[in-house]
C-alpha cells in the first residue's frame, strides 16, 4: 500500500526516520507540500491512503469529501480544536505522535472510497425538493404558497443556482444567508439557524425562509458536499424543508457543474415535487423530463401541474391533463392540478403576499392544500 503524507516538516522527518529503521520508508509514495498536491496525487491514484495534518491550510469538509472519493484519509490532530468539522466525513483521527503515525502506515490496509449514506432519518423532518423540467412555470410561486400553508412548521430554502427569486417573492431582504450557513457547516462550526432564517410575516402565514444568494454568480460558494449536513440541520429543526431548486439538470460538464446542487438535492430528498405548466407544451416537457431523469430520483414523487385552464386544454382541463399523462404511462405518481388564477397571483406578487393567504377560500387555495396533503399523507 502506498501512502501520501502532508505533515509539518519536523513530524514528517520523524515518521520517515522511524519507517527507515525497518526499511519501510518506501511505503511513502509522496511527501506533499500542501493540499493541492495531496488532491492531485489522490486523483492520479499515486497512493491509496493519505495522512494529513489537521492544521494544513484550506482543510475543510469539501476537500475531505473529495479526497475520500479517491483514498482513505487519516487526520493528525494535535489539539481538540483541530477536530471541529472533521467528523462530518469518513476519516480516521490519528495521534500526533510520530511512532503511532508510523505504526498506522505500517499496518495500513487499502481503504475503499466512502459510499454516501442515505440522508433520510425516520422520525425527523422531511426534505422536499420542488423541481421539474426547465421552464417549470410557477414553481417558485408554488413554493411560496406551500410555505404559507405549512407556515411555522416548515422552512423554505432557495437553492436555485440560476435565478434565486424567493427573497423577492416573500418580500424579505436579499441576503446571502444560505451561503453563510453552508460556510459555517463547511468549517465545522455550530450553526444557529435563528441568525439566518427570517419570517416572511403574516402576509405569508409566518413562513420561515432561508434565502439563497444575493447574486446568482455566487453559486460556486454552495458546496455540494456540505448538503447532507444541511439536511441534518434542517431535519432537526423543522418538520419539513421545502427546497426550491433549478429546473432540469443540464449537461454534466467536466469541471464546474452548476447543476450539481440540483442533482444532489433531488437525489437526497425524501419527496420530489415535479412541477410543470398545465399546457400541451408543459406536459410534453414534463414527459421528456421524467424519461431523461429516470433512475436519478429514488424518493417518492408528486406531479403538480400549474396554471391549469380550459383555454389551454379544453373542457375539464384537470381531467384532460391527468388523462394525457396516464395514457403516456405515468401511472405510479400522484398528480395534483392547480387551477389558473393569473389576476390574483399577479396582485399577490405586487402586494407582497401569498395568494393562499389573501384568498383563503379560493379554488387556488384549495389546490395548494391538496398539494400539501400529498406531502403528508399520514396526517
Phi, psi of 208 (to 5 degrees): -90, 135
| Cell numbers linked to 203 | 402576509
Domains with residue ranges and CATH for the chain = 3-106 (3.40.50.2300), 126-375 (3.40.50.300)
Bridge partners for 154 per DSSP: 240
User: Which pLDDT belongs to residue 233?
Assistant: 94
CB crowding 198-207: b at 16 or more within 10 Å, else e: bebeebbbeb
Cα of first residue to Cα of last residue in the chain, in angstroms, is 54
User: Which pLDDT belongs to residue 244?
Assistant: 96
| Closest C-alpha among 360, 299, 361, 364 to residue 151 | 360
DSSP conformation letters of 89-121 = SS-EEE-S-HHHHHHHHHT----PPPPPPP---
Taking only the tens of pLDDT, the chain with its 379 residues reads 689 999 999 999 999 999 999 899 899 999 999 998 999 899 888 988 999 998 888 787 777 877 887 888 899 987 654 555 555 456 788 889 999 999 999 886 544 444 444 444 444 889 999 999 987 788 999 999 999 999 878 999 999 999 899 999 998 998 889 999 998 888 788 899 999 999 988 899 889 999 978 788 888 888 888 999 999 999 999 999 999 999 998 766 555 688 989 999 999 999 999 999 989 999 999 999 999 888 889 999 999 999 888 888 888 888 999 999 999 989 899 999 998 878 888 888 888 888 888 888 888 989 999 999 998 875 5
User: Which pLDDT belongs to residue 181?
Assistant: 94
User: Which pLDDT belongs to residue 358?
Assistant: 86
Amino acid at each position: 500500500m502506498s501512502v501520501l503524507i502532508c505533515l509539518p516538516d519536523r513530524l514528517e522527518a520523524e515518521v520517515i526516520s522511524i519507517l527507515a529503521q525497518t526499511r519501510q520508508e518506501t511505503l511513502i509514495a509522496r511527501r506533499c507540500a500542501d493540499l493541492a498536491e495531496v488532491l492531485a496525487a489522490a486523483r492520479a491514484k499515486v497512493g491509496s491512503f493519505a495522512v494529513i495534518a489537521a492544521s494544513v491550510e484550506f482543510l475543510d469538509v469539501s476537500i475531505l469529501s473529495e479526497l475520500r472519493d479517491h483514498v482513505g484519509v487519516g487526520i493528525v490532530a494535535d489539539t481538540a480544536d483541530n477536530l471541529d468539522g472533521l467528523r462530518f466525513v469518513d476519516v480516521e483521527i490519528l495521534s500526533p505522535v510520530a511512532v503511532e503515525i508510523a505504526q498506522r502506515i505500517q499496518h495500513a490496509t487499502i481503504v475503499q472510497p466512502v459510499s454516501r449514506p442515505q440522508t433520510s432519518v425516520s422520525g425527523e423532518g422531511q426534505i422536499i425538493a420542488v423541481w421539474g423540467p426547465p421552464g417549470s412555470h410557477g414553481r417558485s410561486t408554488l413554493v411560496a404558497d406551500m410555505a404559507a400553508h405549512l407556515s411555522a412548521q416548515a422552512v423554505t430554502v432557495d437553492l436555485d443556482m440560476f435565478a434565486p427569486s424567493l427573497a423577492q417573492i416573500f418580500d424579505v431582504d436579499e441576503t446571502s444567508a444560505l451561503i453563510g450557513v453552508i460556510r459555517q457547516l463547511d468549517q465545522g462550526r455550530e450553526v444557529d439557524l435563528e441568525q439566518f432564517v427570517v419570517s416572511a410575516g403574516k402576509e405569508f402565514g409566518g413562513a420561515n425562509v432561508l434565502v439563497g444568494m444575493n447574486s446568482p454568480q455566487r453559486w460556486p460558494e454552495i458546496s455540494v458536499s456540505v448538503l447532507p449536513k444541511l439536511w441534518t440541520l434542517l431535519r432537526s429543526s423543522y418538520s419539513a424543508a421545502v427546497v426550491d431548486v433549478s429546473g432540469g439538470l443540464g449537461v454534466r460538464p467536466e469541471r464546474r457543474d452548476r447543476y450539481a446542487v440540483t442533482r444532489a438535492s433531488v437525489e437526497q430528498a425524501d419527496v420530489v415535487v415535479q412541477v410543470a405548466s398545465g399546457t400541451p407544451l408543459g406536459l410534453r416537457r414534463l414527459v421528456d423530463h421524467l424519461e431523461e431523469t429516470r433512475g436519478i430520483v429514488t424518493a417518492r414523487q408528486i406531479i403538480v401541474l400549474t396554471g391549469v385552464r380550459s383555454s389551454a386544454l379544453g373542457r375539464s382541463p384537470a381531467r384532460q391533463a391527468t388523462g394525457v399523462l396516464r395514457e403516456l404511462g405515468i401511472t405510479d405518481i400522484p398528480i395534483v392540478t392547480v387551477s389558473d388564477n393569473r389576476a390574483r397571483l399577479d396582485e399577490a406578487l405586487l402586494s407582497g403576499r401569498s395568494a393562499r393567504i389573501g384568498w383563503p377560500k379560493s379554488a387556488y387555495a384549495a389546490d395548494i392544500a391538496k398539494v400539501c396533503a400529498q406531502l403528508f399523507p399520514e396526517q
